[in-house]
């Protein structure tokens, strides 16, 4: 009986020792991870648009939201205007504690999937159009976001339709950096993409002129990682 109790005591002591080692390793790993995340060196990441929160909103009556389609549509369908949305989750790169993220550079990139008729050229109503990117804070995409007040007009994303799978990019550093500096609790950087002069129309040609962009997730095609909307961010913590 004495030997049995002694052996049990030895086994339990060994288990507790191993458990303590595991706990120590986990704590050290957590501390190292935290230190690595929050160090002050310059870092660069490429964020991919959140498929749950990108898509488009059509200016129909009532307005229609599509966040699960195979394309982000910007332009007109049967005369109804649509505006596209992309959303980038930054929670994984936010600093902990009282540190702040300082944006050094931010580049928005999208890729054209297709186009219908000629939405840019003005062949229909004599108006040349460009696609602009607006910095917005819409959270979860809903119908009100079509006309949501923008934080900033970041400029012209594209002034003409692109080659097959062509890329349009825009330097949005100034606007994202200011937004991050002046706004607390930011978890997403979001943009609305729309044509200038994009009211609903009855013009026969323009009413079907639209621009298709690759979304964050295409249910019919998972092999297009390089074509998804992306935000390239260079930053450091302060």
Q: pLDDT tens for residues 113-143? A: 999 999 998 888 889 999 999 999 999 999 9
Domain count of the chain? Answer: 2
In this structure, are 103 and 16 located in the same domain?
Answer: no
In this structure, are 52 and 13 located in the same domain?
Answer: no
Residue 224, pLDDT score: 87
In this structure, are 7 and 123 located in the same domain?
Answer: no
**pLDDT average, residue stretch 97-111:** 94
Q: How confident is the model at residue 221 (pLDDT cuts 50, 70, 90)?
A: confident
Residue 15, pLDDT score: 45
Domain that holds residue 111: 42-237
Residue 9 has pLDDT above 80, yes or no: no
Residue 34, pLDDT score: 47
Q: How confident is the model at residue 21 (pLDDT cuts 50, 70, 90)?
A: low
In this structure, are 109 and 187 located in the same domain?
Answer: yes
From the list 105, 99, 62, 65, the residue with the least C-alpha distance to 82 is: 65
From the list 147, 63, 81, 75, the residue with the least C-alpha distance to 113 is: 75
In this structure, are 25 and 110 located in the same domain?
Answer: no
In this structure, are 31 and 93 located in the same domain?
Answer: no
High-pLDDT (> 90) share of the chain, %: 71
In this structure, are 78 and 27 located in the same domain?
Answer: no
Residue 20, pLDDT score: 58
Higher pLDDT pick, 174 / 33? 174
In this structure, are 147 and 32 located in the same domain?
Answer: no
Q: Is 135 helix (H, G, I), strand (E, B) or coil?
A: strand
Residues 35 and 29: their CA atoms lie apart, in Å, by: 10
In this structure, are 71 and 92 located in the same domain?
Answer: yes
In this structure, are 8 and 89 located in the same domain?
Answer: no
In this structure, are 94 and 187 located in the same domain?
Answer: yes
In this structure, are 196 and 224 located in the same domain?
Answer: yes
What is the H or E stretch that residue 179 is in? helix 173-182
Q: Is 89 helix (H, G, I), strand (E, B) or coil?
A: strand
Ranges 4-8, 87-91, 156-160, 164-168: which has the least confidence: 4-8
Residues 138 and 145: their CA atoms lie apart, in Å, by: 6
Which of 11-20, 117-126, 160-169 is most confident?
A: 160-169
Distances (CA, A) of 94 to 18, 97, 175: 34, 10, 18
């Amino acid at each position: 009986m004495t030997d049995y109790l002694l052996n049990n005591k030895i086994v339990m002591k060994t288990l507790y020792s191993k458990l303590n080692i595991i706990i120590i390793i986990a704590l050290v790993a957590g501390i190292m991870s935290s230190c690595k995340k929050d160090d002050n060196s310059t870092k660069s990441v490429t964020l991919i648009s959140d498929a749950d929160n990108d898509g488009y909103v059509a200016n129909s009556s009532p307005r229609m939201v599509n966040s699960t389609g195979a394309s982000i549509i910007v332009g007109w369908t049967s005369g109804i205007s649509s505006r596209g949305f992309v959303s980038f989750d930054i929670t994984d790169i936010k600093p902990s504690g009282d540190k702040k993220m300082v944006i050094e550079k931010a580049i928005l990139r999208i890729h054209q999937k297709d186009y219908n008729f000629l939405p840019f050229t003005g062949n229909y109503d004599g108006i040349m159009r460009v696609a602009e990117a607006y910095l917005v804070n819409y959270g979860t995409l809903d119908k009100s976001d079509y006309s949501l007040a923008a934080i900033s007009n970041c400029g012209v994303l594209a002034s003409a339709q692109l080659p097959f799978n062509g890329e349009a990019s825009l330097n949005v550093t100034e606007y994202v950096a200011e937004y991050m500096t002046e706004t607390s609790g930011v978890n997403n950087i979001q943009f609305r993409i729309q044509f200038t002069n994009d009211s609903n129309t009855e013009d026969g040609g323009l009413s079907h002129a639209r621009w298709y962009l690759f979304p964050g997730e295409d249910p019919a095609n998972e092999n297009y990682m390089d074509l998804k909307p992306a935000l390239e961010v260079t930053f450091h913590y302060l």
